[in-house]
Structure 1
Amino acid sequence: MPISSDHRQYWQTNLRYLAILLTVWFLVSFGCGILFVDALNHYRIGGAKLGFWFAQQGSIYVFVLLIFIYVYLMNRLDTKHGVNE
């Protein structure tokens, strides 16, 4: 069964959302928590160095925020393509 162009566009958009959100999560968790930790440790948040905070707390907060963003984007995409619940 051939795949329609609407179906293909839906999945391409979905994969684009995933790629962008996973890139943001990678940059926050790996970048801020490991790669840029020395530069970020010059600043403090809540008494802790910012690089340490990102490694321990910040990446988790960003991950949860990205889940909510993904749900919002997918609900909007589902509505656009008529596959919403």
Structure 2
Amino acid sequence: MDKAKAEAYWKANISLIRNLLIVWAVVSYGFGILLVQPLNNIKLGAVPLGFWFAQQGSIIIFVILIFIYVSQMNKIDQQFDVHE
């Protein structure tokens, strides 16, 4: 792999990681801490939505983001011909 292609590959990789971490930070910090009071007015079953995000939501979103990362990295690997 030439240097320009390697730099483009890592730029795509870092960009993907940055975007996924931003989503996770917004969900865990924003919804779980900053917006907990307005979200508590919405119920998810018998549980306030703000409490749910603080206790379960950020973990579930993180696991979903792992699967998204794997899927997107497979596409990036195919695009740059570095797949297995």
Q: TM-score, normalised by structure 1?
A: 0.94
The alpha carbon displacement at 1:55 in A equals: 0.4
Moved over 3 A (4+): none
SS of equivalent to 1:83: coil
Which amino acid is 2:65 matched to? L
CA distance in 2, matches of 1:46, 1:15: 38
CA distance in 2, matches of 1:54, 1:83: 37
Pairwise CA RMSD: 0.9
Counterpart for residue 67 of structure 1: 66
Count of matched residue pairs:
83
Q: How does 1:5-84 map onto structure 2 within 5 Å?
A: 5-84=4-83
Which amino acid is 2:73 matched to? M
Unaligned residue ranges in structure 1 (runs of 5+): none
Identical pairs, percent:
49
Q: String of CA shifts for 1:3-48, please: whole Å, max 9, x gaps.
A: 6111000000100001100000000001000000011011011210
The alpha carbon displacement at 1:64 in A equals: 0.4
CA distance in 2, matches of 1:43, 1:15: 36
Unaligned residue ranges in structure 2 (runs of 5+): none
